[in-house]
Chain A
Amino acid sequence: MEMANVTFEYLPGTPLAHTALTDINLTISEGDFIALVGPTGSGKSTLIQHLNGLLTPTSGSLSFRGRRVGVDVSPLELRREIGLIFQFPESQLFEHTVADDIGFGLRRQGLTGPEVASRVENALLQVGLDYAHYAQRSPFSLSGGEQRLVAIAGVLAMRPRFLVLDEPTSGLDARGKAAIFDCLDRLNSDGVAILMVTHSMDEVAESARRIIVLNEGKIVLDDKPERIFAHASFLRGIGLDIPKAAELVYKLREKGFEIELDSVSVRSVVDSVAAAVKERCAN
């Protein structure tokens, strides 16, 4: 997916006109795991709605696999390849059973019986829910975390190659969050590209391999996590946090510790900090 010089204006030509995105250039490749972060109102939701054709740019263009969106490929075709999962997607569950809910999109596409059943089973497997246990239950009898997974399964059943998620873990408990990340990691290792919008920098630190920072409708940083968080004071200035693990490293450096930072996950920061502390004690 490629965005070239994309600018988007809400209500152009009216007194309420507001430019939400300015000159966005972005390439998303197969297998990417991207976190899109930015303060409230920075344009994150506007950007992701472009990715499956819900919004079309005021100027600039998008292309998917080299084909121009809206010219060579219709938004409808795009939506078959790119799954978009909104915030609190469980609020869109409506069918009597989990299996019917997940199969709804497939039946709308004209698929029938055995094909629907096998895709539903596979989608449940992908989100880590047991088919025999869940398929015939009402989605409304499930916990919040399970409902969220069922809603995600409904999108996965369409077999997207690129999944876009808006705040997929908000409101979930620790177990529910872990289940979502296990699912995303599995999909990503099967080659599905992931782009998720999140406010939780600690989550970003554990999962994403690339971070895009939006501020006032512009991309201000686009890099690997360990490099992004080197801009700690800039990020704080625009109202973003940095992960606790990175914060520890920076605060220890201020105290004179020499610590390398090649990832901002808890595990790798623990290793680097332990090594630095031991070396300091040895001297």
Chain B
Amino acid sequence: MIEFKNVSFDYGDDENKINALKDISLTIEDGEFVAILGHNGSGKSTLARLINGLLAPSRGEVSVDGISTVDSSAVWRIRQQVGMVFQNPDNQIIASRVEEDVAFGPENLGCEPAEIRARVDEALAVVGMRELAHFDPHLLSGGQKQRVAIAGALAMKPKYLVFDEATSMLDPKGREEIVATTRRLNSDYGITVIFITHIPEEAALAGRVVVLSGGTIAMDGTPQAVFADVDALADLGVGVPKARLLARGLEQAGIDIPDSILTVDDLVAALC
């Protein structure tokens, strides 16, 4: 379980203080798939970096499985438990062979060679990159590189994975690969996923959507509930799935349609 208790975070010194998060309380249970939406500067990335102790809260407490992230004796254990995948795949890959890159984490954990081999093979198999284990990462597509980054995080055997806009630099195919991979990690491997994104269609696939605005939690609920109020989300600088916009337009044109529509298929079913 990941827990934020009255967490605030300030950037800068006393004179130029930017209050990025304001008194956030949030609990993420094991096994959840939580999407986090919010305008640029709403505090999404700050929140992600607080989870594994890359940042320490200015006030309040963040804990992972009951251990505070400011406990310096536990921070390495927390970082092993909480894997991170960032926006730009090129910034996360350090080795000149896919499998060596994935091995970097377990090597630094001090694993035995046989254990490293097993972890690398398994992690690459999970993301569907086993065949490309000997490739040079710079020859891969963006989506493939991002899957290598995910495999690198998986090789640490984490309980939680945080994706910080991990799809925003990818083309539609790469994005699909990543979204499908994260969903599989959650449903088949029980990994808790925290998925930060700008893309409403991606957030709609989560079990729970948290909307941040100006450093506070503005909404928290199922995708159906959160995306129901199109105008409120627009005020928060957040879009909604296109199918939801179409549904709302039809509703305004006098057609009876439920406000839980999130996909074109939902909409077709409601109209037929």
Given contacts A247-B264, A251-B264, contact A143 B40 (CB under 8 A): yes
Contact with A along B205-222 (1 / 0, CB 8 A): 000000000000000000
**Stretch of B104-112, B119-127, B166-174 at the chain-chain interface:** B166-174
Instruction: Specify the chain A residue showing the minimal Cβ separation from B198.
Output: A173
Q: Which of chain A's residues has its CB closest to B245's CB?
A: A266
Contact indicator B267/A174 (Cβ below 8 Å):
no
Q: B203 to nearest A CB, angstroms?
A: 12
Complex: chain B residue closest to A241, CB-CB: B172
Please pick, from A144, A170, A173, A248, the residue contacting B264 in the complex, using a CB distance under 8 A. A248
Chain B, interface size category, equals: 35 or more
| B173/A39 in contact, CB under 8 A | yes
B39's partner among A171, A174, A270 (CB-CB below 8 A) is A174
Identify the interface centre among A171, A199, A270: most chain B CB within 10 Å of its CB.
A270
Interface size on A, residues (CB 8 A): 36
Residue among A144, A173, A245, A266 having the largest count of chain B Cβ atoms under 10 Å: A173
In the complex, chain A residues whose CB is within 8 Å of the CB of B264: 244, 247-248, 251
Contact status of A266 and B40, CB under 8 A, knowing A39-B173, A40-B173, A274-B255 = no
Chain A interface residues (CB < 8 Å from chain B): 39-40, 143-145, 170-177, 199, 202, 239-241, 243-245, 247-248, 251-252, 255, 257, 266-267, 269-271, 273-274, 277-278
* 19 additional A-B residue pairs with CB within 8 Å, beyond A240-B172, A243-B242, A244-B264: A39-B171, A39-B173, A40-B173, A170-B169, A173-B237, A173-B239, A174-B198, A175-B237, A177-B239, A202-B242, A239-B172, A241-B172, A248-B267, A252-B268, A252-B272, A255-B268, A270-B249, A274-B255, A277-B255
What would be 24 A-B contacts, judged by CB atoms less than 8 Å apart?
A39-B171, A39-B173, A145-B40, A171-B168, A171-B198, A172-B198, A173-B38, A173-B198, A173-B237, A173-B239, A174-B39, A175-B39, A175-B40, A202-B242, A239-B173, A240-B172, A244-B241, A244-B264, A245-B242, A252-B268, A252-B272, A274-B250, A274-B253, A277-B250
Contacts from B to A (Cβ < 8 Å): 38-41, 87, 141-142, 165, 168-169, 171-174, 198, 234, 237-239, 241-243, 245-246, 249-250, 253-255, 264-265, 267-268, 271-272
